[in-house]
Structure 1
Amino acid sequence: MYFIGFLCLGSVGYIMGGSLPNVQCMENEQEALLKFKEGLVNHWDRLFSWMVEEEADCCKWRGVKCNRTTGHVMALDLHSQSPNESLQGELNYSALLDLPYLTYLAWNLNDFKQSQIPQFTGSLPNLKYLNLSNANFRGNIPSDLGNLSRLHSLDLSSSSYHSLGANNLDWLRGLSSLKILDLGGVDHSKAVNWLNEINMLPSLVELHLFDCNLNKLPSSLPRVNFTSPEIIDLSLNSFNSPIPWPQFPEWLCTQKDLLYIDISDASISDIVPDWFWNISTKVEHMILVSSQLRGKVPDLSPLANFSHLDLGENNFDGPLPRFSANMKSLRLYGNSFSGPISSICEWMVANSSLVDVQLFSNKLSGLLPDC
């Protein structure tokens, strides 16, 4: 026991004391990076440091991070800060197969000229972070991404109108460690059982499926396995259903850790159930804009973290509800709220942080008070 403890303390002291050996990157991994660079074009010369010279060390190159003790390349961060500095050209994908210890790969905000996401990406077994968002990829998402069993974060979102697509989300079943999933702007019109596949991700914390052409919003699940999301964004999906409108999703009642939820522009026509307003004591942002939701909004003042609420362009009625003293943005426009408008003075007195209030196009009465 004493010997083991001595080794542990010695190792910690070695790292913390700064007495690291002069470990450079592995020669074969440096050659792989240079091969990868060959097809890339950048007018701002972002990869100027990627040069072959005497005693060159790729661990010091821009965008490259190495393990401090082994010299293996662990991270390749080539994301662009602006369109002007984006990388372009053809990617030598196979070169990256010589970087087997890679855990972090970011190519977002570049321009890869409508090429397809490479199949090999699923052959990087240690990858934990993958961001290919807004990099001008097209075609179908390769299903071999499901081989990345250690992946924690996956971002394939795109602002190019549905240039990426997926026939199904079956491949997600292999990503049991996934915490963050962003497929916003990816065409999922053919993914019939999308929620069942999402339900197989028990560690999921963030779910972004906005503007995905999702056609069906199941109202329930036989058993909900993902219960820890803090962010759910299903906005800008024109869900349809044979009943004829989608019902309010009952499976949301299991999401007790939500901080942010957006199901706006989702064509849901239903009464919002009472449990939804108390879905999470942690909720901060709730966005339910432009659906066909109806019902009365209860007293929400006990939700101390609630700071942004947008219920615009729905069919809510009844008196204006009370809100948290920390509310910053309150948008209730385009509904049928009724009663005296003078109640807003109570909000202003109790809430000094309120900076955005939109109440137009309701059925409120009385003169606008001078608060």
Structure 2
Amino acid sequence: MDLKFRPSFFFSFLIFIFLLSKPDLGSASNPKCTSTERQALFTFKQSLTDPSGRLSSWFGPDCCNWRGVGCDNRTSRVIKIDLRNPNQLVHFDESKRSSLGGKINPSLTSLKFLSYLDLSSNDFNGLEIPEFIGHIVSLTYLNLSFSSFSGEVPAVLGNLSKLESLDLNTGPEPSLYHPWFYLRASNLGWLSGLSSSLTYLDMRHVGMSSETWLQDFSRLSKLKELHLHKCGLGNLPLSLSSPANLKLLEVLDLSENSFSSPIPNWLFDLTSLKKLLLKQCELEGLIPSGFKKLQLLETLDMTHNLLSGELPPVLGDLPRLKYLTLSGNSFQGQIHRFVDALSRYKGNSSLLSLRLYSNRLEGTLPESLGALRNLETLDLSSNKFSGAIPQSLAAISSLHTLNLSYNKLEGSIPKQLKFEDPSIYVGNELLCGKPLPKKCPRKQQTVVVN
């Protein structure tokens, strides 16, 4: 019998034969990640210690399904490794048991599309930050905080020209598990390599000795948040050559650095600031009038400095201010003009917390305090105030913490002041009862008087 093959039949037959020779092609069980990336992750895992078995899912052909690994939906290339300790906020022992440790294998450099790397709150036992991390040039997010790294921050991190967020916070001791491990950054010149990309930088508790630290950080023209809490900084320049480079900065934390300096005027050129933290900085002198330029400021904390003089009305020119803390300084005199200025905007606006405790303030309390209608916390304790407690406080319906203790005030809390389930502190004695409801507290609402 004479068989005739049509071209279409012959072509379909060839495709069928090809598919038989490739049984995994198009199969739903086919690995999504490449063998190179899978092997790189497996090698990385082998170098780690994992006492709680957090990496137990790291086996099998599809590394995109491994815990803590993320892949691009379109290309299936590995773009994310998130191995932060899930117990970082729980009891120390439990957090310790779930910490990864060991070494960080350079096989990570084989992940050419890796943009997100988080190894935070683990325990690398004094390991230096590996220099090869600076060669993973696709990174946009890098978090190595609270993981017991030590030594010098490698300058090669400046190669990460796409990096948008960098967190090297070593923790308060400075290390979560090992107080003797210390991370330092003696030379900050490498920051210039991140100038066109970095928006978030946290280097709290990282030791710095550079005299040019301010100029180095000011090169980061895209920066929105900068955290330099307790970095051993000892000099605070009074001028900045290019303050415009930090025009996008919204959060600045310089707390617990020993500056022994007046408040510098260049701060007032950072007009995008929303949060300014200057606690325990040994700042001296008066509060400058330049604060009126920070019209977006929401939080100002200058607790425990050496500031003096009268509280200036200029802080009343900040219409968005929510949290103002000036406690533990040497401010003196009356507060009438200061409170009048605050109440000019704040009566129907934003101020939620006013803390002025442990100063040398005196005189009577102004009735204009009652115009701060949105206050939730008012702490005027440990001053020299005298006279009657203003009846206008009864107008602050949102108030849940009132501390007037350790002054020379007379009279009683206004009966109209309405608290739900209050706690009344008289000195160190907790009372539940008159003149407020007898019900003991369920919520954190306190009144403290003399």
Aligned twin of 1:358? 379
Does the 8 Å contact 1:157/1:185 carry over to 2?
yes
Tell me the equivalent position of 2:55.
Answer: 47
CA distance in 2 between counterparts of 1:26 and 1:174 reads: 31
1:335 is aligned to 2:359: yes
Instruction: Report the AA paired with residue 223 of structure 1.
Output: S
Q: 1:181 aligns with which of 197, 201, 208?
A: 201
Deviations 1:149-187 (A, max 9, x none): 111111001113271011121111110111111000111
Instruction: Say whether the 8 Å CA contact 2:151–2:184 is kept in structure 1.
Output: yes
Deviations 1:275-319 (A, max 9, x none): 11x232221110001111123321645534311111011122343
Please state whether the residue corresponding to 1:338 is helix, strand or coil. strand
In the alignment, the residues of structure 1 paired with residue 211 and residue 82 of structure 2 have an alpha-carbon distance, to the nearest angstrom, of 34
The SS at the match of 1:232 is: strand
Residues 215-224 or 195-204, more deviating: 215-224
Cα drift, residue 84 of structure 1: 4.5
In structure 2, do the counterparts of structure 1 residues 85 and 354 end up closer, same or farther at CA, with 3 Å as the change threshold? farther
Any idea what the Cα deviations from partners look like across 1:304-353, whole Å, max 9, x if unmatched?
A: 4311111011122343223324222211112233331253xx434541x4
Equivalent position of 1:81 in the other structure: 86
Q: State the partner residue of 1:227.
A: 247
Offset at 1:358? 1.4
Instruction: Give 1:231 deviation, angstroms.
Output: 0.3
Which residue number corresponds to residue 255 of structure 1?
270
- 2:109 is the counterpart of 1:97: yes
Pairing partner for 1:282 from 296, 308, 311: 296
> Is contact 1:211–1:234 with CA below 8 Å preserved after alignment?
yes
Looking at both structures, which has the greater relative contact order when contacts are Cα pairs under 8 Å and sequence separation is at least 6? 1
Kindly tell me: are residues 178 and 38 of structure 1, through their superposed partners in 2, closer, same or farther at Cα, counting changes over 3 Å?
Answer: same
Separation of aligned partners in 2, 1:288 and 1:29: 49
Percentage of pairs with the same residue: 37
Give the equivalent residue in structure 2 for 1:272.
287
The offset of 1:51, in angstroms, is 1.0
1:195, 1:218 within 8 Å by CA — same for their partners in 2?
yes
Native 8 Å contact 1:348 1:354 kept in 2: no
5+ residue gaps, structure 2: 1-27, 88-94, 175-180, 391-412, 415-450
CA–CA separation in structure 2 for the residues paired with 1:341 and 1:290: 23
Length-normalised TM-score, structure 1:
0.86
Confirm or deny: 8 A CA contact 1:314 1:335 kept in the other structure.
yes
8 Å CA contact retained: 2:289, 2:314: no
1:137 corresponds to 2:149: yes
Instruction: Indicate the SS of the match to 1:269.
Output: strand
- How many residue pairs get aligned? The number is 339
Shift of 1:98: 0.6
Task: Answer whether contact 1:253 1:279 (CA < 8 A) is retained.
Answer: yes
Match of 1:207 among 219, 223, 226: 226
Which aligned segments of 4 or more residues in structure 1 are displaced greater than 4 angstroms? 299-302
Give me the whole-angstrom Cα distance separating, in 2, the residues matched to 1:229 and 1:298. 25
Which residue among 297, 305, 308 is the counterpart of 2:312? 297
Check the 8 A contact 1:342/1:367 in 2, yes or no. Answer: no
TM-score after normalising by structure 2 = 0.72
**What is the alpha-carbon distance in structure 1 between the residues aligned to residue 241 and residue 366 of structure 2?**
46
Q: Identify the residue that residue 121 of structure 1 maps to in structure 2.
A: 133
Using the alignment, how far apart are the partners of 1:361 and 1:349 within structure 2? 23
Query: Are residues 1:347 and 2:369 paired?
Result: yes
- TM-superposed CA distance for 1:41, in Å, is 2.3
Q: How far has the Cα of 1:39 moved from its partner?
A: 2.1
Determine the structure 1 residue equivalent to 2:35. 27
The match for 1:15 is none
The answer for unaligned runs of 5 or more in structure 1 is 1-19, 240-244
Moved more, 294-303 or 37-46: 294-303
Deviating more after overlay: 76-85 vs 152-161: 76-85
Provide the secondary structure at the position in 2 that maps to 1:218.
Answer: coil
- 1:206·1:232 contact (CA, 8 Å) conserved in 2? yes
Root mean square deviation of aligned Cα: 2.0
User: How many Å separate the matches in 1 of 2:182 and 2:210?
Assistant: 16
